[in-house]
Amino acid sequence: MHGDNMYKLLRELFPFCRSITGGGVRETFKTIARQIPLEVTEIPSGTECFDWTVPPEWNARAATLTGPDGKLVADFAANNLHLLGYSEPVEGEFTLEELRPHLYSDPRRPDHIPYLTSYYKRRWGFCLRHRQLENLKAGVYKVKIDTTLAPGSLTMAECFVPGRTDKEIFFSCYTCHPSMANDSLSGVVLNVELCKHLLARGGDHHYSYRFLFVPETIGAIAYLHRNQQRVLDKTYAGMVLTCLGDPGDFHYKKTRQGDHQLDKIVENVLKHSGKPHELIDFFLPGSDERQYSSPGFDLAVGSLMRSVYGFELYHSSGDGLEFVTADALGGTFAMYADVITALEGNFRHRNLKPFCEPFLSKYGLYQTLGAQRDLDSQIKNILNVLNYSDGTRTLAEIAERTKLNLLELVEVAKILVDKGLLERSGEPD
Ligand code: ZN
């Protein structure tokens, strides 16, 4: 169900010509706002954000490249990747030799249109399949690029879902890629689905959650600049959502800290999911964790992906609707939902009967754990939670030390609290 919802939204958003600014981003937010309440913010062109300046707004209406035989070589209407992102407007006739510096292709992936942009240097150009570029005939070509580059604004959006505490966990996706399915859009649709998942709890959760939709780099920078103090004061952890819809194995890029509770949680959830996965230490470059985890902010931000960016068809027309599946999106949603469940249950506890083990059958603890595998593992979970809960360790730390399933420990701890054997004694650091 979640996978189908996400794939449907992804199909709807796919054709919009998104960029770091412009109408495609606003259209995207209008569509998303039919599913979740979105607070949209416009940052005017020219606004200084730390070391960066918000660029002019770019809008593309049409772009065509017509060959000497009068046939279309590239048409923005057929595929928006044909137009170099942020191309300035041009109209005229060019010989093939004059045109060549404005034509881009990728010989490594000759059958796909590459995705290229030029946000901060004024250029114009067309992106072509390399095979097509190689076969262009000499002659005069007609270029028509109908775009505007003018003062306007950068558009970003967020949805805040308050919990019992004002400590925040954020999920951030980027909304600046045009028709690309796995890179960028899979993160957008997962963000929407996770937001719906949290909203459905009606505030019954510990942390407050913030779902961010920002253009990559400049958007994250503008967001952090605008909300610097709150972000520093309130953020507990965050995740950058991208590359989540292909059927590849899971990859978790750890936080810059490397041993944050979030890292322990995701590692444990992945390990006990039985799904193939790989853990990767924090590295640069990457996506918006570069900004969130810059030393001034130093936020704990991880990224749980399927195929890591840089995959074979990355930044090309090969990353299309057929590259992602509803099944893979649904599987990713389930993994994130488990991470949220674990985050929500990851507290320190104190054993209220610390002198020797309690007499478990007195508390009816042999029958209550229906969801867990067998009596032996239930008892093992109970004994470990009781033993290690001396107020110093979180459940994630207990799970790490004992190699037990954190989601089961979270369930066990809730029951032990209900039975009066355990009390919650503190939040994780
Ligand atoms: Zn990208």
* For range 299-310, the mean pLDDT: 96
Question: Ligand 1 center to residue 183 CA distance, Å?
Answer: 5
Query: Cα(311) to centroid of ligand 1, in Å?
Result: 11
Is pLDDT at 292 greater than 90 in this prediction? Answer: yes
Is residue 364's pLDDT more than 90?
no
Q: What percent of the chain has pLDDT over 90?
A: 95
Read off the pLDDT of residues 313-362 as tens digits, 9 standing for 90 and up. Answer: 999 999 999 999 999 999 999 999 999 999 999 999 999 999 999 998 89
58 CB-near residues (< 8 Å, 6+ apart): 19, 20, 21, 22, 85, 86, 147, 148, 149
106 contacts 114 by C-beta, under 8 angstroms: yes
Interacting residues of 214 by C-beta distance below 8 A, sequence separation 6+: 156, 157, 172, 173, 174, 175, 220, 222, 223, 288
Question: Which amino acid, residue 399?
Answer: A
Q: List, by residue range, all CATH 3.40.630.10 domains of the chain.
A: 2-55+153-345
The CATH number of 2-55+153-345 is: 3.40.630.10
Give the pLDDT confidence score for residue 365 in this predicted structure.
81
How much distance in Å is there from the Cα of 119 to the middle of ligand 1?
A: 14
Predicted TM-score (pTM) of this structure: 0.96
Per-residue pLDDT for 368 more than 70? Answer: no
* C-alpha 242 – ligand 1 centre gap (Å): 9
pLDDT of residue 361: 84
Is 242:309 a contact under the CB 8 Å cutoff?
A: yes
Where in the chain do CATH 3.50.30.90 domains reside? 57-148
Where do the CATH 1.10.10.10 domains begin and end in the chain?
A: 348-426
Each residue's pLDDT tens digit, 215-271:
999 999 999 999 999 999 999 999 999 999 999 999 999 999 999 999 999 999 999
Residues surrounding ion ligand 1 at CB below 5 Å = 183
Which among 97, 101, 111 is positioned nearest to 141, based on CA atoms?
Answer: 97
**Distance, CA 398 to ligand 1 centroid (Å)?**
37
Q: Could you tell me the distance, in angstroms and rounded to a whole number, from the CA of residue 306 to the centre of ligand 1?
A: 14
CATH of 57-148, one of 2.60.120.260, 1.20.58.390, 3.50.30.90, 3.60.21.10: 3.50.30.90
For ligand 1, the distance from its centroid to the CA atom of residue 216, given in whole angstroms, is 8
* Distance of alpha carbon 213 from alpha carbon 13, whole angstroms: 14
What sign has the CA pseudo-torsion 258, 268, 305, 229? negative
Give the distance, in angstroms, between the CA of residue 146 and the centroid of all CA atoms in the same chain: 32
Q: How many CB atoms lie within 10 A of CB 87?
A: 25
Query: 177: CA distance to ligand 1 center in Å?
Result: 7
- The per-residue pLDDT for range 183-198, each reduced to its tens digit, is 999 999 999 999 999 9
Interval between CA 229 and ligand 1 midpoint (Å) = 28
Name the amino acid, one letter, at 95.
T
**Which CATH number is 348-426 given?**
1.10.10.10
* 426 strand-pairing partners: 348
If you measure from the C-alpha of residue 197 to the centroid of ligand 1, how many angstroms do you get, rounded to a whole number? 26
Q: Average the pLDDT over 88-106 and give the result.
A: 98
